[in-house]
């Protein structure tokens, strides 16, 4: 899993807690053994977190989303909220027109917090939604089953009525039924996986709070 600014900041806090706990244990052990007091780490609590975290954040200052946040243009939380409009209500199951600028913004945001890939606009024919997946299923069904009918049919051994019935079965009913099955058993799980994931608003709020502390 690729590191993000959020994960690095959280890791710095875990490291600091570990250092503080190790030092506290050392102080207790030293005092018990030698009966000598060692001064606590005091307000620095191991490492001075604001300076350390500012150093971490400095590596992200070329990121446009981060740059907007530290300059007060738009917070990371508001950026996420702005991008999430494409996934509100009925839009969760509808195809989206491809938008490179929108997708690039999501990619930039994904360097700071968990990437909200469910907000991407990948094109009307992308099977990342229920309708798109159904269209792909319909195309596959009609393109496979209809030619199969022609291969299997032997006109010399079939009456006109049989040919007409088989034609309906292979060119209409089977493709429609298989499309329905694909939509239900493939389209719904795909849609749930791609579009209904939880958005990382808590991560965005955390990074915004750290920006206010440090900058």
| Whole-angstrom distance, CA of residue 110 vs CA of residue 161 | 60
86-115 pLDDT, tens per residue? 999 888 888 899 999 999 999 999 999 999
| Whole-angstrom distance, CA of residue 174 vs CA of residue 204 | 48
Please answer whether residues 126 and 194 qualify as being in contact, where contact means their C-beta atoms are separated by less than 8 angstroms: no
| Whole-angstrom distance, CA of residue 180 vs CA of residue 175 | 9
The 8 Å CB, 24+ separation contacts for 7-14 are: 8/56, 9/53, 9/56, 9/57, 9/206, 9/207, 9/210, 10/206, 12/49, 12/52, 12/53, 12/56, 13/49
Residue 185 CB coordination number (10 Å): 11
pLDDT at 44: 41
Whether 4 shows a pLDDT value over 80: the answer reads yes
Of 11, 79, 74, which Cα lies nearest the Cα of 47?
Answer: 11
pLDDT at 46: 47
Domain boundaries, the chain: 5-116+199-214, 130-195
139-159 pLDDT, tens per residue? 777 777 777 766 666 655 666
Flag whether the pTM goes above 0.85: no
How would DSSP label each residue in 41-81?
-GGG-SS-HHHHHHHHHHTTTTSHHHHHHHTTSS-HHHHHH
31-82 pLDDT, tens per residue? 554 455 555 554 444 455 677 888 899 999 999 999 999 999 999 999 999 9
Please answer whether residues 130 and 191 qualify as being in contact, where contact means their C-beta atoms are separated by less than 8 angstroms: yes
162-177 pLDDT, tens per residue? 667 777 777 777 777 7
Q: In sequence order, what are the beta bridge partners of 123?
A: 96
């Amino acid at each position: 899993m690729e590191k993000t600014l959020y994960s690095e900041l959280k890791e710095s806090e875990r490291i600091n807690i570990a250092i503080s706990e190790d030092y506290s244990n050392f102080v207790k052990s030293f005092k018990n053994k030698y009966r000598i007091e060692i001064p606590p780490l005091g307000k620095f609590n191991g490492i001075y977190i604001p300076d350390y975290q500012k150093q971490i954040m400095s590596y992200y200052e070329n990121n446009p989303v981060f740059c907007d946040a530290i300059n007060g243009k738009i917070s990371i939380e508001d950026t996420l909220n702005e991008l999430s409009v494409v996934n509100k209500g009925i839009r969760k199951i509808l195809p989206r027109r491809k938008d490179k600028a929108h997708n690039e913004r999501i990619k930039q945001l994904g360097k700071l917090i968990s990437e909200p890939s469910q907000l991407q606009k990948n094109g009307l024919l992308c099977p990342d939604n229920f309708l798109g997946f159904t269209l792909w299923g319909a195309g596959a069904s009609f393109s496979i089953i209809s030619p199969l009918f022609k291969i299997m049919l032997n006109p010399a051994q079939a009456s006109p009525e049989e040919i007409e019935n088989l034609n309906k079965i292979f060119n209409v009913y089977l493709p429609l039924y298989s499309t329905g099955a694909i939509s239900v058993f493939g389209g719904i799980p795909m849609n749930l996986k791609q579009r209904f994931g939880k958005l990382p608003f808590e991560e965005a709020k955390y990074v915004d709070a750290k920006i206010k502390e440090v900058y």
